[in-house]
Structure 1
Amino acid sequence: MSKLQWAQNIDDLRTLAKRRLPRGLFEFVARGSEDEVGLQHNRSVLDSIKIKPRALVDVSQRSTATTLLGRAQGLPLIVGPTGAAGMLWYRGEAELARSAADAGVPYVLAMSSITPMEQVREACNGALWFQLYLSPETATSDQMIDRARAAGYDALVLTVDTVVSPNREYNSHNGFSVPMRLNRRNVLDFACHPGWLCAVIARYLAAGSMPRFENYPQAMRHSVAGRQKQRWAPVKRDESADWRAVAHIRKRWTGPLIIKGIGCVEDALAAVVAGADAVILSNHGARNLDSACSPTQLLPAVIASVAGRCPVWVDSGFARGSDVFKALALGAEAVLLGRAPLYGLAAAGYAGSARCLQFLREELDRCMAYAGVSDLADIGLDNLQDTGLVLPVIPVRSHPNPPQNLA
């Protein structure tokens, strides 16, 4: 039996990924920020929601198909943007994109990815979206938007929840930074994982250079490794940005615009007013603000406030098909995946990420059968058991930078 055949769920893929990857790289993917309270909170909220089983219901014709942004797809899932993919597997972004396309779901290419967006597009015939962070220099963002349009990307995912660099202290303990500075600790870590070293780093070197951030403007395409005293930030975040920046992007990008990183009702409403075609509730997988609320817990209040004016999607902490079912029951139209497909990718490349999506498809389908549901459109609050869980009703205050005043 192969290692991949041994894996029966996403946690098994995580185990395989942990064995194959250097510790610093694995923890960069798997861990949160500061005290990692957010990681526990994301999981505990999902675990506290219970699905109501129904008996003697005809579920012989089940379907996990749905439609997002007017495009039919096989699952209510999106493979989200994750900057480490190209370090887990050679040209890992292209492998993720292929597995997503074969599963009938979109793939979001991270702005900080290593494989050029044009090569990812060539490798994938499915829905491809591009992630964008706001840069202080408007021209920098404009260049990436124009390049994504020219490469044939279908939607833009503007990520707004990382205004400053997060505090991930374990990266310092592991000697893992950007740029990566080689020291005794991480050199030993790499040497203890020769399979990864030969299959990933050696292949980049054989192709001509160390991995670098290929989707930034030319002057910013630094290598992931740097000299010991070299300090740089690949692309600075715009700490002064407000909703006027969204208005500019809305004008420049004529395709679907999705705003990711919404963490409260106020910002969800502001995103709707700013012209978002969908919003993604997210706490960045508990990798940014450690004390942020679980996006799943926010769903009922946001759904009620948005009131059908804009699709609401969610991410952060989803590892089972039953988790996806719960999000749909609370009103989300789709779930973004971060770590789960990365574990599959790190374990076995395309085959591993495809296996991850297969697990989720089978688990969601099984959940639907137990809940007496044949179509995703029929999943709702009635499919959840009343366990006394009190979901928040969050008061809406005025936004500090309301987009209504934008011209």
Structure 2
Amino acid sequence: MGQSLNLLPASVDDFRRVAERRLPRFLFDYIDGGAGAEVTLRRNTADWEAVQLNQKVLVDASRMDTSVELFGQKLAMPLVLAPVGMGGMTARRGEVQAKRAADKAGIPFCLSTVGICPMEEVSQVSPTPFWFQLYMLKDRGVVQDILNRAAAHGVDTLVFTIDLAVLGTRYRDIRNGMAGGLGPWGRLRSGVIDYMLHPRWAVDVGLRGGPHGFGNIAPYVQQSKNPRDYLNWTGSQFDSSVTWTDIEWLRQVWPGKLVLKGILDVADARDAVRVGADGLIVSNHGGRQLDGVASTATMLPRIADAVGDQTTLLVDGGIRSGQDLVRALALGAKAALVGRPWVMALAAGGEAALTRMLGLIKQDMRTALGLTGIPNARDVTRAALLEQ
């Protein structure tokens, strides 16, 4: 066991194992866990693994190209770093490190509304635009101001999350004291042993990584004294009454690309097209909302058959390798998003570890392209899959 600690991570799961050792239990479980008994969480990865690639040989693979075009931008591979709430807690100023790694990899980074680093800080990394994720808040004036700030800092693609009308029941968070509005900072006394067992994180992030509030909403939380105030404000502002009419309003006030995240139903996909969304993300929130629903690998081809020729389809949930990226392209997506993998890599070793993980995924994808006889990612169709 001790010898294995010295081995280099070779897969996304390897980075996860390192992250589990380095993060306090409550934070690891918050990131790693899902809703309920985590049935959908497990389905997400298992169903991608069940999609069989069709191996073809004696096809010229000397010039392979993993790049794709997405919303007029060339990506080095069909991958986006998904928005992750509190992602910046896994490494010092985590979202900043993630943006740097994404820039080097030639892929987009999407900042969460409830990320630790504010958009003003992330925008200083480079002139390369980043994406921004938003929830609908009850105060539409705040929503409008956030949109104005995002546009002023170079954001041209807005990812709007639509599957959070109610918060999923997450057993791990309940057990660790993360649920009920406490958050990690509610455990400062009861979790002191957990902090002591993870001194690297406690010093690098806990002591030196501040401020630990939600940077993007800090201007609107009056007289906040600690991060719990941010959590309470955010919980009180989530709007459970949002309907397609609100999305129509959002389409009118946001001038850039609008991508709706949280589509898992064919009829909802058609409505997303109807209200003018530029794209949609087939997603079950990484299995963190309603347990027992279908995996994204299952729903992607059905939604692609229904609206794939009318909008830009993306997918997230369970993507863990370059082979999965090829599977996603074959089933109708233009690109895939990953959340847990990039956060776990940051926890395992910061920007350098994330850069390594992205390189491994890209190499995995090259292998899959070369051995399915489709050396150019833009040519991937369902022909890359074994007929069932």
Q: Give the TM-score range, shorter chain.
A: over 0.9
Report the counterpart of residue 29 of structure 1 in structure 2: 31
State the 1:204 CA deviation. Answer: 3.5
Report the counterpart of residue 251 of structure 1 in structure 2: 252
Q: Deviations over 1:34-83 (max 9, x none)?
A: 10001121122112110010011111111001110011110101101001
State the 1:4 CA deviation. Answer: 8.5
Is 1:190 aligned with 2:195?
A: yes
Report the counterpart of residue 402 of structure 1 in structure 2: none
* AA in 2 matched with 1:72: K
Distance 2:227 2:302 in 1: 44
Q: Secondary structure at the match of 1:234?
A: helix
Q: For residues 211-250 of structure 1, what are the structure 2 equivalents within 5 Å?
A: 211-216=212-217, 218-220=219-221, 222=224, 225-226=227-228, 232-235=232-235, 236-250=237-251
Report the counterpart of residue 353 of structure 2 in structure 1: 352
Distance 1:53 1:373 in 2: 10
State the 1:379 CA deviation. Answer: 1.1
Report the counterpart of residue 156 of structure 1 in structure 2: 158
State the 1:282 CA deviation. Answer: 0.3
For the structure 1 residues 250 and 353, does the alpha-carbon distance in structure 2 shift closer, same or farther, using more than 3 Å as the test? Answer: same
Q: Is the 8 A contact 2:329 2:380 kept in 1?
A: yes
Distance 2:61 2:145 in 1: 49
Q: Secondary structure at the match of 1:261?
A: strand
Distance 1:307 1:149 in 2: 28
Report the counterpart of residue 90 of structure 1 in structure 2: 92
Distance 1:217 1:183 in 2: 22
TM-score normalized by structure 1? Answer: 0.89
Which of 40, 43, 57 aligns to 2:42? It is: 40
* AA in 2 matched with 1:202: L
Unaligned runs of 5+ in 2: none
Q: Secondary structure at the match of 1:336?
A: strand
The answer to which of 212-221 and 328-337 deviates more is 212-221
Report the counterpart of residue 291 of structure 1 in structure 2: 292
* AA in 1 matched with 2:163: D
Is 1:103 aligned with 2:105?
A: yes
Distance 1:153 1:187 in 2: 39
Distance 1:224 1:42 in 2: 35
Distance 2:231 2:339 in 1: 28
Distance 2:190 2:70 in 1: 45
Q: Is the 8 A contact 2:37 2:171 kept in 1?
A: no
Report the counterpart of residue 403 of structure 1 in structure 2: none
Q: Which has the higher contact order (CA 8 A, sep 6+)?
A: 2
For the structure 1 residues 73 and 226, does the alpha-carbon distance in structure 2 shift closer, same or farther, using more than 3 Å as the test? Answer: closer
Distance 1:224 1:56 in 2: 61
Distance 2:212 2:7 in 1: 30
For the structure 1 residues 224 and 354, does the alpha-carbon distance in structure 2 shift closer, same or farther, using more than 3 Å as the test? Answer: farther
State the 1:139 CA deviation. Answer: 1.1
* AA in 2 matched with 1:17: A
* AA in 2 matched with 1:147: R
State the 1:186 CA deviation. Answer: 1.7
Q: Secondary structure at the match of 1:201?
A: helix
Report the counterpart of residue 377 of structure 1 in structure 2: 378
Q: Is the 8 A contact 2:282 2:316 kept in 1?
A: yes
For the structure 1 residues 244 and 313, does the alpha-carbon distance in structure 2 shift closer, same or farther, using more than 3 Å as the test? Answer: same
Is 1:316 aligned with 2:309?
A: no
* AA in 2 matched with 1:244: T
Is 1:6 aligned with 2:11?
A: no
State the 1:105 CA deviation. Answer: 0.5
Q: Is the 8 A contact 1:181 1:225 kept in 2?
A: no
Distance 2:39 2:187 in 1: 30
* AA in 2 matched with 1:32: G
Distance 1:291 1:223 in 2: 39
CA-atom RMSD, angstroms? 2.0
Query: Runs in 1 of length 4+ with deviation above 6 angstroms?
Result: 1-5
Report the counterpart of residue 280 of structure 1 in structure 2: 281
Q: Is the 8 A contact 1:20 1:346 kept in 2?
A: yes
Distance 2:321 2:349 in 1: 19
Q: Is the 8 A contact 1:109 1:128 kept in 2?
A: yes
Q: Secondary structure at the match of 2:267?
A: helix
TM-score normalized by structure 2? Answer: 0.94
Q: Is the 8 A contact 1:176 1:186 kept in 2?
A: no
Q: Deviations over 1:177-201 (max 9, x none)?
A: 4443125542211111001000001
Report the counterpart of residue 17 of structure 1 in structure 2: 19
Report the counterpart of residue 404 of structure 1 in structure 2: none
* AA in 2 matched with 1:181: G
